Structure 1
């Protein structure tokens, strides 16, 4: 497995602005870091659960249709390129609406967030399953990805509390760098 591409994909997909991250940013900025952390804990648990569900579904599919990995790599790469385009075009000047910042709202957001759902459905068959088949490797991978997601959410809490004005000022540069990194990760799947 190309660890660099895997880490870039995980970092870009979890750290870039998306519905969950924007809500965390808004909650931290408007309601404080403590309230945003409750939302973050719920988001992390929901994210981890989606990864577990994805691993189980993909394992079942791989057992019945071994060639599906090629299809999932194509879908995963195309999705990553699509995300890089969206990140490039993104305008963060319109922040998310005020949320209650509860554990439950953070948890449920993960199941309604297309970015998270598609990420969890593509990361395991694209990066993990072609290289590892043991349940131990799958478990460790899910834990690593969940920790990366938590660190991303935590970063957005800090951003909301400290750097919101600075990020908005340099939004386009940040988006271009993130989009290029994600496109690189998508291309590296085939190298």
Structure 2
């Protein structure tokens, strides 16, 4: 059983912090309304699921071919989480360019996942450090893929629904929020070794 607190902290901090999915969801909802932007979020859900499933296959293959890779993957995962903590702590709020053109379709949301390094690195890190050491069955990997995609979907919907309010709150409390999220990520990285 993985450290549930560390796992959920990592998942929530990573999925709810600003990234391409959340920013584009907020932007689409502010331009087209929540109802009209939902298909974009559904596309993100399916693309996210597909990427996590691929990361599960990749990690399972590595674990079966090279069983001794677990310690190395744990160190790489912890290093990546610590890097995320540093980037989160140092990040500054940014405003959106209202002149940017974003498509608001299922396909755009789905395809965004294949060029979104945050999702790809998140998938590899989450699966290899929190899931694969404890669960290797296809059923459990599918369950976690759906769970992680669902959490991502909730995050994008939250950013869509409360986008402008949430953006103002983030900007006005940037230092405090970044510090708390960075500390949670540091806790996640340290807990991988205990």
Query: Equivalent residue for 2:187?
Result: 184
Does residue 150 in structure 1 map to residue 158 in structure 2? no
Q: Which runs of 4+ in 1 moved over 6 A?
A: none
Whether contact under 8 Å (1:44, 1:107) holds in the other structure is yes
Structure-1-length-normalised TM-score = 0.92
Structure-2-length-normalised TM-score = 0.91
CA distance in 2, matches of 1:30, 1:74: 42
Query: Equivalent residue for 1:108?
Result: 111
Q: Per-residue displacement from partner, 1:142-185 (whole Å, max 9, x unpaired)?
A: 22212111111111112215443233222222222111111111
Displacement of 1:45: 0.7
Task: Say which SS state the counterpart of residue 76 (structure 1) adopts.
Answer: helix
Query: Equivalent residue for 2:175?
Result: 172
The 3 A distance-change label for structure 1 pair 161 and 31 is farther
Task: Please provide the CA RMSD for this pair.
Answer: 1.6
Q: Number of paired residues?
A: 191
Does residue 125 in structure 1 map to residue 128 in structure 2? yes
